[in-house]
C-alpha cells in the first residue's frame, strides 16, 4: 500500500473516484460503488459522509490493500453529554494516527478548520458583545465595565500578518512606492 502511494507521488494527474451516496442509498451502495471504482482503475478512492469508524474499517477491509484510500471528515455537531462538549459525538474526528491504523492513506480536513474558525469567531463575538460563550446569563469573561477579561483566544498580530502575507505586501510597496 505504501509502495503504491509512493508510486503515485511522482505522477502528475491522479484519478480520484468519489461517491456521496451514503445518505441517499446506504452503506452497501458505498461499498459496491467503491469496488466498481477499483475495478475501473481509480488510483484513489474516497467515500464521503461515512457514519462511523466501523464503516471506514469495513470499507477499507473490502478494498484491495493496494488501493489508495482517502478519508474526509466533517464534524457536523459538537454534542454535549453530561456537560462535556464533544462527549456525545456521533462521528468522532480521527487523528492522523487513527486514520493510518484504519489503513487509509490520505486525510482531507477541508471543512474542519473552517468549523474551528467559525466557532472562534462566534465565541469572540459573544465575548465582545458581553455574552457568555456558554449561552448563560452570567456574562462570564466580561467585567461590569464591559471590558473583556482573559483568556480570549487570539493570535498575535505578527502571526496574523504572516498568515495573510503582510511581508509580501510590504516588499511590494517598498519596490513600487506610491510617491
Determine how many CB atoms are found less than 10 A away from the CB of residue 71. 22
Pairing label, strands 68-72, 80-81:
unpaired
CA angle 16, 21, 26 (to 5 degrees): 130
53-62 helix and 27-39 helix, angle to the nearest 10 degrees? 30
Q: Are the C-beta atoms of 102 and 56 separated by less than 8 Å?
A: yes
| Percent of the residues in the chain that have a pLDDT greater than 90, as a whole number | 32
Grid cell of 166 as nine digits: 503582510
How large is the average pLDDT for residues 122-145? 61
Grid cell of 41 as nine digits: 482503475
**Preceding amide of 151 cis, omega within 30:** yes
**85 confidence band (pLDDT: 50, 70, 90):** very low
First to last CA, the chain: 59
**45 confidence band (pLDDT: 50, 70, 90):** very high
pLDDT of residue 148: 56
Amino acid at each position: 500500500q505504501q509502495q503504491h502511494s509512493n508510486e503515485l507521488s511522482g505522477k502528475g494527474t491522479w484519478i480520484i473516484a468519489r461517491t456521496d451516496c451514503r445518505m441517499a442509498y446506504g452503506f452497501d451502495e458505498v461499498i459496491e460503488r467503491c469496488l466498481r471504482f477499483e475495478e475501473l482503475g481509480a488510483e484513489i478512492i474516497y467515500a464521503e459522509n461515512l457514519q462511523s469508524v466501523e464503516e471506514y474499517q469495513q470499507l477499507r477491509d473490502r478494498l484491495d490493500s493496494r488501493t489508495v484510500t482517502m478519508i474526509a471528515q466533517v464534524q457536523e455537531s459538537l454534542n454535549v453529554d453530561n456537560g462535556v462538549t464533544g462527549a456525545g459525538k456521533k462521528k468522532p474526528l480521527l487523528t492522523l494516527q487513527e486514520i493510518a491504523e484504519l489503513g487509509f492513506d490520505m486525510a482531507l480536513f477541508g471543512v474542519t478548520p473552517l468549523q474551528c474558525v467559525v466557532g472562534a469567531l462566534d465565541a469572540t463575538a459573544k465575548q465582545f458583545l458581553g455574552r457568555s460563550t456558554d449561552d448563560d446569563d452570567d456574562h462570564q469573561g466580561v467585567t461590569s465595565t464591559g471590558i473583556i477579561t482573559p483568556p480570549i483566544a487570539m493570535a498575535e498580530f505578527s502571526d496574523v500578518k504572516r498568515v495573510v502575507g503582510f511581508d509580501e505586501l510590504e516588499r511590494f510597496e517598498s519596490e513600487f512606492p506610491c510617491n
